[in-house]
Structure 1
């Protein structure tokens, strides 16, 4: 936290407003902890609203197509001669083949359209993948079967076309649904800014104007509870300003004349007159948005392993098809037979199971992770999490609670700690200040009783006082002690100052009775998390805008390997890149907005749940419980998910690798040719195995 940028020494000048709360300058708070804005791989050029709508639309499209195709697939299967043979029935009637062809034509063009379009895009980018493989298989099955209907010698494969389209639509529907929590981060960022402002005219009257109409140098009135319309400087007034959404600074900052304010921050108490310094384009918030966009563009596109497998299968299918045709023709087979073998090979190379291999594992692991308090927003980054070498932690709100708590109490009299705390808490009871809240919370935790108090008074800039049991009680800053020339044993005080803690003193009837040290409290789970990371040979690094003393103190308490302190937000992304250049795969955790670019730069960006909506919207993974230990769960689940994915790909493609040579007729000389019926059974079997294997992931237990 930034309360303690300077040491609070009794012989120093006063540096706290209300017992030790400094005036912050503009840079003081830009340097705070915050969060990431990388977008889904799928909506790279499609930011914000468009991207979200686009995915919502695709989920609906795949779902609707799936159900329509399902209705058409049932009669296609029942009318297929091969299925009838298999079931031992004969439902042939005049013109049944034409009905079958009509139904299949609809399925091919209506259900197959997303794949045909996708294949066109893939081939245009010279990157054949899943879509190309599916499009090739359904097109060959469709056109070949049509040829059979109109007299070509062979067996039609309409059932193969329909089931392939159906299962692929199901797979894509499942997949799109898990992608649909697409990022709305930039939209939310922009919505932080108010659209109107109260401008003060030359005659002193205020008028409401659109933010776009404001020019640099204009004076604006910002009332309590309103947002700062633009970046500027206070020319009149004093207030507490909440910048947590923007800077990650957990405590409202006291600001007065000549202090800078950031557009989008919230004015808590007094009315302020601010002079506009930067317009929308140059504002701090806009810079963050730009950096996020920039980071998204430079983020590497992780190619799905399924897509890699599909790409190879596509090339294998082409090669196998061509070889099959040449071999059959060269051994004197008829063109009909050669084409039939070629078609069977090329259709069989497209595994139904491959379409489900990844989506099923993904949907199970997404459900599992949600159950354990992890929300996965970007699959490729989640899959990368298994290879992490270093975790960069933001401090405030991630490793620490993000709010003031009492860490030490010292008595200078025969009074015990609890008595000192109950007096201090009584005096502080009416104050809204973070330090007051910290002392009150401690008193409540210790179940201390508050006293009756009269004559409450605020001593400007140094503290507060009141009367309890006819005694004058003051809670004051170190500045007051040094001004009054009160001497005391300052060994503890010096140590606390070194650790960057804020110290307040209790004076009873002008006699120094005790000192209370407060700091941003370290989360209990932080230390265990770092220990566990070390067991896995993962480095723990801290990257914070806070001052070096505070950072080093926290790092020492929990065993952090490397500390980067006093880092401004725009330098955070550079620091991440620097660490990556050492060859490390990096995860970054944070909870505000200003870390957004850094989180995007990291290989995996993790938002801590207590953070801002923006942080969540722009992260790869969100920890719902704000517990750093959940980071370990991400790594375990990522490993397990990846293993399941690989197993499923082996099952899905293994069947094909076995079936392709048989379909090509390698064993034909011995009378063994893979009939489409047997192919269909094997295909169903591999699909079932893949589905069951994905469900086995449910047995995953968190470490």
Structure 2
């Protein structure tokens, strides 16, 4: 069964109850595999079977419960959404400003000038403008949901402010009704207007902060230039990037940003790829080099052939991956969703119960106190903070990872990373560079002619080590005739009628060539260091030996030491022989190594570690190590550019820097700690706030929470949660033992 996974913007969500309702509705549709609704991003990520379900059906289902889904796939959609958000924020900001300007006089009159003629009428008019004019969205949204059988935060606000206003209006117009019952009529116009003002203020600050959680995506999207210079019939012409086709030749000038992925055909320059890898050092690009969209050219200029355009570029894939990851849910969010789903009905029930209890047990002022308690309970309850606690931290954490060159596939992976206690590293291409290089040369006769002959011999060889010799010599090659490859031993050929050989020690012995003792000693020393020794000779004597190795990356030793300081065991696995494996293990400082292991044995070893209770992260290239990666709790692929195995691993390190593994674990620990902090304060706020609002402290010390204070506290609870999450943007690449 082939499924489709897409993200759709959701309109109309204002609290955790909304996102929970949308989530529940989408999950009920036929053909749905998984759904993740992110309140902070206002996005629903849906995986579905296209044979049973269509985006149109999903849109219709969401509309039936009072929300909307944007399913149109066009390049302007993201731009349109940004415009909608900007317009909404500006409107919210203006309404908030007016609400505060009009609410302050109502509060001042209520406190100091309530005996002034027409004071009540002035308060009633100003309050009506604030509550039903500037706060009309609360009533509209609440009504839309009510007729669909739902309720959310807007329902609580509409109930509390509406009841406060109309109760006050009744007391102002018919004061004698309560007086006949021995009750002094009070008005709460200031409470109704200030509640709206505070909640609008909170939502404005929250909206602004929520916009900042998507900064990483905005930065990535801003990396693609709008126009590009192409070669058409030998002439440079500027064109829109959307018109660029695969196969076009693109001209890149100094300081320009590269538009699409491709391969350099002429020219050379250094390119800043930090947006991809997180590494600040510019990379040399010459003929045959790969270049990627979003990277910045330095002073040189070059031309390249476009190979991947539009949504196929590495940058576009990264943006898509980060968006999907930011929209995913951490396991802890399931509990929050369950709470959010019943939150509003429970709060309304608590408000009614508190009113009934006050009226029942306080004969003297139960009506007044009961009314205040019910309104305050409705105001103080805040599902928004609960709904924003996890997704905002996930969005900022995953976005921060992307800025650092760490692509985290989903929230599950981000949460698992903090628990890792064992990291298993593949050797080749992970600890080492993955490219054989000649490191040592020992000559008995170092002439240019002999170098050319050796270079000519190795140039014809198909062995992967041969190119290391050719690159290491860096000389013109001699014309070799009678070339012959000797399986498992080396190569031989003729130059000016004389036979020359290049290969291993067995080849030298088979030819009966006597090797000087000092060269034997040197070869043994180099072999003990895990290096492969290539001998070069003619039929009579040895001229040279060359040692080849896969060099350890400059950052590997420090990265492994850093992981160990974080309390993590590091194991190296390799298919190499024991001698080079042991040498690399000693040089890198790993805790344990295993040599001569097959891909299947790697997977079995990871399975064994997990069976012993370890939380294992497997680090490899994402393809050759796929079996072991699949067995690990956390799979991490190392790679660069288009070689990234994004679909294989849960985490992809775009650069080859092992330091990023420690960064990933450290970022995970910080993010999960932030989620815990957010959820703690969100739950504690409601656990303490609701009983206090209902009047739990009144019998003890006579304290009854003012609705205006409650509304300010409620508004700030959401803002504080988002602000706490935004602190993750300041995360530095320094590990801490945070659990």
Cα displacement (A) at 1:453:
2.4
Q: What are the superposed Cα offsets for residues 565-587 of structure 1, whole Å, 9 maximum, x if unpaired?
A: 55544564443332122122222
Query: Structure 2 vs 1, CA of residues 70 and 398 (structure 1 numbering), >3 Å: closer, same or farther?
Result: same
Aligned counterpart in structure 2 of residue 624 of structure 1, from 631, 636, 654 = 654
State the partner residue of 1:274. Answer: none
1:204-219 to 2 correspondences below 5 Å: none
State the partner residue of 1:389. Answer: 421
Aligned counterpart in structure 2 of residue 463 of structure 1, from 491, 495, 500 = 491
Cα displacement (A) at 1:539:
0.6
Give structure 2 stretches of 5+ with no counterpart. 1-33, 38-44, 59-69, 110-121, 171-187, 221-324
2:335 aligned with 1:303: no
In structure 2, how many angstroms separate the alpha carbons of the residues matched to 1:175 and 1:572? 39
Cα displacement (A) at 1:398:
0.6
TM-score by length of 2: 0.56
RMSD: 5.3
Cα displacement (A) at 1:591:
1.6
1:338-417 to 2 correspondences below 5 Å: 338=370, 341-350=373-382, 352-410=384-442, 414-415=444-445
State the partner residue of 1:678. Answer: 709
Aligned counterpart in structure 1 of residue 511 of structure 2, from 444, 467, 484 = 484
Q: What are the superposed Cα offsets for residues 414-444 of structure 1, whole Å, 9 maximum, x if unpaired?
A: 3369997676346435767532321234345
In structure 2, how many angstroms separate the alpha carbons of the residues matched to 1:440 and 1:47? 53
2:328 aligned with 1:328: no
Contact 2:330/2:415, CA 8 A, preserved across alignment = no
In structure 2, how many angstroms separate the alpha carbons of the residues matched to 1:387 and 1:695? 23
Contact 2:425/2:619, CA 8 A, preserved across alignment = yes
In structure 2, how many angstroms separate the alpha carbons of the residues matched to 1:177 and 1:56? 22
Query: Structure 2 vs 1, CA of residues 140 and 86 (structure 1 numbering), >3 Å: closer, same or farther?
Result: same
Contact 2:513/2:539, CA 8 A, preserved across alignment = no
In structure 1, how many angstroms separate the alpha carbons of the residues matched to 2:604 and 2:663? 28
2:135 aligned with 1:104: no
In structure 1, how many angstroms separate the alpha carbons of the residues matched to 2:587 and 2:127? 84
Cα displacement (A) at 1:590:
1.5
In structure 2, how many angstroms separate the alpha carbons of the residues matched to 1:529 and 1:403? 20
2:695 aligned with 1:665: yes
Query: Structure 2 vs 1, CA of residues 693 and 93 (structure 1 numbering), >3 Å: closer, same or farther?
Result: closer
State the partner residue of 1:537. Answer: 567
State the partner residue of 2:555. Answer: 525
Q: What are the superposed Cα offsets for residues 86-137 of structure 1, whole Å, 9 maximum, x if unpaired?
A: 5879693798566567533444478x89xx99x99xxxxxxxxxxxxxx643
Query: Structure 2 vs 1, CA of residues 535 and 72 (structure 1 numbering), >3 Å: closer, same or farther?
Result: closer
Cα displacement (A) at 1:334:
5.6
2:539 aligned with 1:512: no
In structure 2, how many angstroms separate the alpha carbons of the residues matched to 1:90 and 1:69? 28
In structure 2, how many angstroms separate the alpha carbons of the residues matched to 1:312 and 1:485? 84
In structure 2, how many angstroms separate the alpha carbons of the residues matched to 1:595 and 1:401? 16
- For 1:682, what is the secondary structure of its paired residue? helix
State the partner residue of 1:85. Answer: 106
Q: What are the superposed Cα offsets for residues 619-666 of structure 1, whole Å, 9 maximum, x if unpaired?
A: 333323211122222233333344444444455555545543432223
State the aligned residue count.
523
- For 2:635, what is the secondary structure of its paired residue? strand
- For 1:615, what is the secondary structure of its paired residue? coil
Cα displacement (A) at 1:324:
3.4
In structure 2, how many angstroms separate the alpha carbons of the residues matched to 1:109 and 1:486? 96
2:608 aligned with 1:595: no
Query: Structure 2 vs 1, CA of residues 568 and 358 (structure 1 numbering), >3 Å: closer, same or farther?
Result: same
Contact 2:457/2:480, CA 8 A, preserved across alignment = no
Query: Structure 2 vs 1, CA of residues 93 and 355 (structure 1 numbering), >3 Å: closer, same or farther?
Result: same
In structure 2, how many angstroms separate the alpha carbons of the residues matched to 1:628 and 1:668? 60
In structure 2, how many angstroms separate the alpha carbons of the residues matched to 1:485 and 1:40? 72
Give structure 1 stretches of 5+ with no counterpart. 1-38, 121-134, 183-295, 445-449
Query: Structure 2 vs 1, CA of residues 557 and 99 (structure 1 numbering), >3 Å: closer, same or farther?
Result: closer
2:734 aligned with 1:702: yes
- For 2:665, what is the secondary structure of its paired residue? helix
2:472 aligned with 1:442: yes
Q: What are the superposed Cα offsets for residues 185-222 of structure 1, whole Å, 9 maximum, x if unpaired?
A: xxxxxxxxxxxxxxxxxxxxxxxxxxxxxxxxxxxxxx
In structure 1, how many angstroms separate the alpha carbons of the residues matched to 2:688 and 2:127? 38
TM-score by length of 1: 0.59
- For 2:125, what is the secondary structure of its paired residue? coil
In structure 2, how many angstroms separate the alpha carbons of the residues matched to 1:70 and 1:109? 22
Contact 1:504/1:515, CA 8 A, preserved across alignment = yes
Cα displacement (A) at 1:302:
2.9
2:608 aligned with 1:575: no
- For 2:418, what is the secondary structure of its paired residue? helix
State the partner residue of 2:4. Answer: none
- For 1:454, what is the secondary structure of its paired residue? coil
- For 2:645, what is the secondary structure of its paired residue? helix
In structure 2, how many angstroms separate the alpha carbons of the residues matched to 1:594 and 1:178? 31
Contact 2:461/2:491, CA 8 A, preserved across alignment = no
State the partner residue of 1:232. Answer: none
State the partner residue of 1:605. Answer: 635
1:221-232 to 2 correspondences below 5 Å: none
In structure 2, how many angstroms separate the alpha carbons of the residues matched to 1:409 and 1:65? 66
State the partner residue of 1:218. Answer: none
Aligned counterpart in structure 2 of residue 137 of structure 1, from 149, 153, 156 = 153
In structure 2, how many angstroms separate the alpha carbons of the residues matched to 1:451 and 1:681? 79
Query: Structure 2 vs 1, CA of residues 593 and 693 (structure 1 numbering), >3 Å: closer, same or farther?
Result: same
- For 2:465, what is the secondary structure of its paired residue? helix
Q: What are the superposed Cα offsets for residues 144-168 of structure 1, whole Å, 9 maximum, x if unpaired?
A: 5566677797776666776777777
